[in-house]
Structures are given as structure tokens and as C-alpha cells.
Amino acid sequence: MPGDIAITERTTIPRPERDLASYSSNLRDVSTNRNSAIRRIPAAEGPTSSRKLLIAMISALVLFAALTVLTFPVEQEQRNRGIHLTLFAEVLPYAFLLLPYLVAFVLSAWGNTEELKAGGAGIAAALFGAYVLVSPGVLMTMFLWAGLSRNPMLGAAVVVAVLLIANSAWILWSALRHRKKSPGALAAGACVTVIYLFVGIPAVRLKEFRAQQHAETIHAAATLDYYSAFTNAHKAVASLSGCLIQRQADQSKSEFPASLSEIPQGPGCDTTLAKPGAIPYYALAYAPQRDSSGRINDFQLSAIPVQKGLDRVNPILCDKRGTIFVYERWFAMDRGEKLVPMIAVEPNDFTASNLFTLKNQINAFIKSTGGGSAPSSLSQLAPPTADGQNTDPDTQKAGPYVLKYLPPRKNDPGKYAISATCQSYTDACMRSFLLDYDGEVHQTAEARPAAPRDPLLPDCDRFGQTCRDIDWPIPSPAGTSSP
């Protein structure tokens, strides 16, 4: 019966409000735990930090390439000064530094584990951290280059160097952020790179030094060969010019020959020197000069290099005056815009005459006596020679020259004159000289003693200045047309 029903179990009726509150609390706990788990996952930072590191490394490569291009003028200036850099010595440092850079870039970009990426970051940290440490020296070098050179590109190179230092510091900071992922791999990559740099840099410098030393040895041998060629060409021009002058003097009122083939072979008249290839790196050319009547009253004998750029191999020219002109700097005039060739006199005869040597001895005698008077004879300077060949005490022999001392005049005891006369025309004897009583030096290429009426020795001959008394356009290499 309904009234007799016994309730043996108490049934609890759930309350909807309490269950909803509990569900909301559990949902918040799950959300909190999930966010905490996400923050603890190291891969969440991975893409961002690795991407920053790669961007910084690419920027460093671009800046380094720009710095190399901007500092190229310094290397070119070194070449202009004769500092020869070998390709091996130039490329080796770049290859040495590029290897750890590529390893770090590949590991950071395509490493499939956090350890590999951290190892690449460690390599980058050590490599660019080392650059940050040496950056003060780099900046000092850049400022020195910019100060010594007027090239405007070096000013931009200083700015790029500063940006590269800042970029390297950025790489160092980005790489160190990987220490949270795998500090052991980061430290291992940095340690290996430090050892690589510590051991490799001295080895690279030693390799550079040996390669440079070998290159300088080869360059010195080539320079000696070029200098020998210039000396041989100089002697050939001098001897053939002396032959022409002597031949014209022996044949009174005769013309100079129309070609060298008209000269008979003999001492100092070796016309085979004008044949192609007779003198290495040079080609000899003879050009007769005619006056208004068509008479050959002068000549130009030249030795022109077959190409530019050979050290000290410069054009040589001589005419009937017996003066040997050389286009100095011609061999390197294309190496720099500010390098301008100059016509200089490079004779052997004026030095070989010993005229100034005797002059200095006489001036020393005048000062030592205190009276201001020149010696009445050269015997007052030194005793006569033991061989007794010089019967005249005022005459001395100096190689192919004979020096004659002209003592002071009665009205002026402090002034004297010296005559240096060429006896045989060779590469060291082409002109005769006279130091007159006023201290001026006269010259002549005629077969006689120089006289006061002869032209003065040009200043470019005495003081190494640019010669302005000759019209000689800048020649082109032999076998090419003039510009």
C-alpha cells in the first residue's frame, strides 16, 4: 500500500547550479595547465630566435662583401707602390672564415634537432664574437686608410665597418638566446670554433707569408730581368748614338745616315742591336731628321718597350746632342690617375766625367786654406801619380775622359774652370763638358773640347727635373699606334 512504502536509500538530486560552477572551475584549470605546458615547450621560441640569427648572418655577409668592394682601392694602391699580392694570399683568409660561417648557417637553418641548431648558434657566437673583440683594431686600420688615401670610397668603408660591428654584436646576442634549448651544444660549437680560430689564424698567416715571400722572390727576379733589359737598351742607344756622332764628326760637313744599315760594323757600331728581339722587351728605331732643305742634320734613336707595366722598362731617346732622355714612370702610368710620366735625362757621361768630383775637391781646398784662393795647380791637391803618364800636373784622366784644370786668373783668384773632354764615344762618354769661371756647365757632342759658346747643361740633367727642351710626345708600346 502506498502508505506502507519504506524508503531504504536516500537519493540525492543534483543541483544544476553547483555542477555548472564545478565544470567552469575544471575548465579554467585545464586552460591554465595547457598554457603553462605551452610556455614550457622550448620549440615555441625556436622559429623566432633562429630566424633572427639567420637574418643577422645574411646581413653580415652582405656588409662584409660591401666592405671588401669598398677597400679594393687600398689593394690597388699597394699594387701601384709595388706591393704584389698573390691570389692565394688574398683568397685564403676569406676561405678560412667562410667555412665556419657556412657550417653555422646550415646548422641554424636546416638542423632537424635543437642540438644541431644550438651548435650552429655556438659557432656563429664564437666567430662573430671574435670579430667584435678585434673590431677596435679594424676601425683604427680603416681610419688610417681613410686618412692616408683620398679615395672617397674609404669613407663609406668606415661606415660599413661600423655597421658590420653592430651586426656582429646582434648575431652574438641572437646566438646566445639558444642557450635555453641546449646549452651543451651551444658551448660545444663555440669551443670548437675558438680552437679552430686559435690554431688556424697563425697557420693562415704563415701560409700567407710564405706565399707572399715566394711571390716577392719571383717579382724581384723579374724586376732584375727588366732592369737588365733597360740597362742593355740604354747602352745600345748610347753606343749607336755615339757611333753616329763620331761618324758625322769624322766626315766633315756630311749628313747623318738615312738608315742604320749605312753604318759600317765596328766597335760601338753594332747595328744588329736594332733588329727585332735583339734587346729583350725593347724595339730600337732610327728616325733621321731633315731640315727645310731636305738635308739630314739630326736623328732620333729610340728604344721603345714592347708593352707597358714591366717594372722600370721605360722609353729611351737620343739625338745629335748626345743627351739620353727617358720617359720616367711610363711603365706604370696606367696604374693610377695621378701618376704622370716625366721626361728625364739619364746619361752615364756626366757622372763618368768626374767633373763635379774634381770641383768638390777644389772647393774643399779653398775652404781649408782660408785664403779664398783656388789652387794654382792640381798638384796642390794631391801628388802626381806614380806611373808618370801625366806630364801635365793640371790634367787628369777619368775613364774615357780627360780633365783639364784651368787655374784662376790674376784679377780673380777664387774662380777657376775645368774642361772634361770625351776621348772615345761609348755609353759612358758622349759629350764634352766645360765648367766655366762663372760656375756654369756647357756641353757639346762634337768631337772637341766644350767651349763657353756651347749650350748650358740643362737643369733636368743636373737636378733630375722634367726636361722641357725636347718635344717628345708620350710614346705607345712598340708595334702599336699612338693615341
Three-state DSSP state, 308: coil
Model confidence band, residue 90 (pLDDT cutoffs 50, 70, 90): low
In the structure grid, which three cell numbers stand for residue 461, read together?
A: 740633367
Please give the sequence-ordered ranges of beta strands (E in DSSP) within 182-295, or none if there are none: 282-290
Residue 27: the pLDDT is 53
Residue 194: the pLDDT is 93
Residue 453: the pLDDT is 92
Q: How far is 34 from 152, CA to CA, in rounded Å?
A: 60
Run of H or E including 300: strand 296-305
Q: Which of 69-83, 160-174, 357-371, 445-459 has the lowest mean pLDDT?
A: 69-83
Q: Which residues of 434-471 are buried (b: 16+ CB within 10 A; e: fewer)?
A: bbbeeeebbbbbbeebbeeebeebbebbeeeeebeeee
Q: How many angstroms from the chain centroid is the CA of residue 323?
A: 31
pLDDT digits (tens, 9 = 90+) for 314-336: 999 988 888 888 988 898 877 65
Residue 483: the pLDDT is 45
Question: Are residues 207 and 170 in contact, defined by beta-carbon separation less than 8 angstroms?
Answer: no
Average pLDDT over residues 174-189: 84
pLDDT digits (tens, 9 = 90+) for 30-70: 555 555 544 444 444 445 667 888 898 999 999 988 888 88
In the structure grid, which three cell numbers stand for residue 187, read together?
A: 658551448
Nearest to 273, CA basis, from 219, 234, 323, 331: 234
376 pLDDT higher than 50: yes
| Residue 317 one-letter amino acid | L
The whole-model pTM stands at: 0.60
Sheet holding 395-398, edge to edge: 395-398, 401-406, 417-422, 432-435, 441-444
Run of H or E including 392: none
Cβ burial of 142 (10 Å; 0-12, 13-18, 19+) is buried
In the structure grid, which three cell numbers stand for residue 105, read together?
A: 648557417
Cβ burial of 257 (10 Å; 0-12, 13-18, 19+) is middle
| Residue 78 one-letter amino acid | Q
Residue 253, phi-psi category: left (phi > 0), alpha (psi -120 to 50), beta (remainder)? left
Q: How far is 16 from 80, CA to CA, in rounded Å?
A: 95
Average pLDDT taken over every residue of the chain:
80
Residue 70: the pLDDT is 80
8 pLDDT higher than 80: no
Please give the residue that has the higher pLDDT: either 29 or 445.
445
408 pLDDT higher than 50: yes
Model confidence band, residue 213 (pLDDT cutoffs 50, 70, 90): confident
Please list, in sequence order, all residues whose beta carbon lies within 8 angstroms of the beta carbon of residue 154, skipping any fewer than 6 positions away.
Answer: 70, 71, 73, 74, 142, 145, 146
Average pLDDT over residues 212-232: 86
Model confidence band, residue 386 (pLDDT cutoffs 50, 70, 90): very low
Name, of 106-120, 183-197, 243-257, the range with top average pLDDT: 183-197
Q: How far is 56 from 186, CA to CA, in rounded Å?
A: 18
Residue 316: the pLDDT is 93
Three-state DSSP state, 412: strand
Residue 284: the pLDDT is 92
398 pLDDT higher than 60: yes
- Cα-based distances in Å from 334 to 76, 280, 315, 338, 465: 12, 22, 15, 9, 22
In the chain, % of residues over pLDDT 70: 79
Please list, in sequence order, all residues whose beta carbon lies within 8 angstroms of the beta carbon of residue 388, skipping any fewer than 6 positions away.
Answer: none
Please give the residue that has the higher pLDDT: either 83 or 214.
214
In this structure, how many other beta carbons lie within 10 angstroms of the beta carbon of residue 169? 16
Model confidence band, residue 87 (pLDDT cutoffs 50, 70, 90): low
Question: Are residues 278 and 284 in contact, defined by beta-carbon separation less than 8 angstroms?
Answer: yes
Torsion angle of the four alpha carbons 237, 241, 242, 245, in this order, in degrees rounded to the nearest 10: 180
Q: Which of 149-153, 168-172, 277-281 has the lowest mean pLDDT?
A: 149-153
Average pLDDT over residues 83-110: 79
pLDDT digits (tens, 9 = 90+) for 438-483: 989 998 888 889 999 998 887 777 666 677 767 788 888 887 754 4
